[in-house]
Structure 1
Amino acid sequence: MARTLQTAIQQRFSDVDAFQHVNNVSQQEYFDVGKVEYYREILGAEVLGGDLRIVTVSTATSYLGQVRMYDSVCVTTTCERVGNKSLTLFQQLRANGVVCSESRSVMVVFDFPRQQSAPVPEAWRERLLVGD
């Protein structure tokens, strides 16, 4: 079973348009907040600043409903798949408990000193997938 993390999102005034809707760019930023928290909690802070890091290579988002200015918003993040050099994250943005958008991101392990992709470390794989 993959580990899932829920992250509360604090909306900013600038996230909302004149119709009091959270715009799509801000929703994508909410997904990024969820990713950072997921990395920190599940993989450890070293994936954000070590020699081996995770970089996004592809993101697809579906917008299913509206997020409004005063909604209670959270993002859930889980790892759907771990490959040789990549992993796929699945996220849902919920407003007042209702799924309003979903995002899938393909992430690659990147060796910054060598400037190339690298295999997913076994320790990361174990932290991402519990019981798989």
Structure 2
Amino acid sequence: MYKTMITPRIGETDGLRHINNTVLPLWFETARNPIFEIFVPNYELTYKKWNLIMVHSEYNYLDQIFFGYDVEVRTYITKIGNSSFTIYQEAWQNGTIRANGSTILVHFDFIKQESQTIPPEIREKLQELYMDINDIEKQNKKEMKENKKQVEELNYIESDL
């Protein structure tokens, strides 16, 4: 698992101190950088070197995310196929999960316009980040139970009065 800390910006916030729903995909992409680096260590954005293409992404907004508190994005690999893999991500704020989502990327040759088998050395690095989704959910339930008091103290909306 990779962890990336995000500090919400004013420009990502609406009048109710909520983080806008269009921001989450950007934060999740930022948190995928270490995975991009596994495939293209120098991030060379050329047709000859870049070898990943996104084929699917989805997001679940579970609770409000607010300005004023950092957000931890956790990034896991939950499936590794022949040429594709699934990234599962979560946004945590104040000890509770606020959003999650998944993205499917394909190892892709942009010159030939076709998928490629993930090389063994890359597959091995992806495997180090692998975690079964059921195990992630069990871990989350346990962690949120342990964080319950902290969440109750921090999870409030200040009055405008």
Q: TM-score w.r.t. structure 2 length?
A: 0.72
Aligned partner of residue 46 in structure 1, secondary structure:
coil
Selected match of 2:71 from 70, 73, 86? 73
Name 2:111's counterpart in structure 1: 113
Q: Deviations along 1:61-96, whole A, 9 cap, x unmatched? A: 111001000122110001111101100000000112
Distance 2:2 2:114 in 1: 29
Aligned partner of residue 123 in structure 1, secondary structure:
helix
Query: 5+ residue gaps in structure 2?
Result: 131-161
The structure number with the bigger radius of gyration is 2
Of 72-81 and 115-124, the range deviating more from structure 2: 115-124
Query: 5+ residue gaps in structure 1?
Result: none
User: Is the strand fraction higher in 1 or 2?
Assistant: 1
Distance 2:77 2:42 in 1: 15
Alignment of 1:1-132 (within 5 A): 4-40=1-37, 43=38, 45-46=40-41, 48-49=43-44, 51-130=49-128
Q: Give the root-mean-square deviation of aligned CA atoms.
A: 2.0
Q: How far did 1:48 drift? A: 3.6
Contact 2:13–2:19, Cα closer than 8 Å, also in 1:
yes
Structure with more relative contact order (C-alpha pairs < 8 Å, separation 6 or more) = 1
Distance 1:16 1:70 in 2: 10
Moved over 2 A (4+): 37-40, 44-52
Q: Deviations along 1:25-81, whole A, 9 cap, x unmatched? A: 1011111111113433xx154384362522211011111001000122110001111
User: Is the helix fraction higher in 1 or 2?
Assistant: 2
Contact 1:91–1:104, Cα closer than 8 Å, also in 2:
yes
Amino acid at match of 2:41: E
Contact 2:39–2:51, Cα closer than 8 Å, also in 1:
no
Q: Cα distance 1:114–1:51, how it changes in 2: closer, same or farther (>3 A)?
A: farther
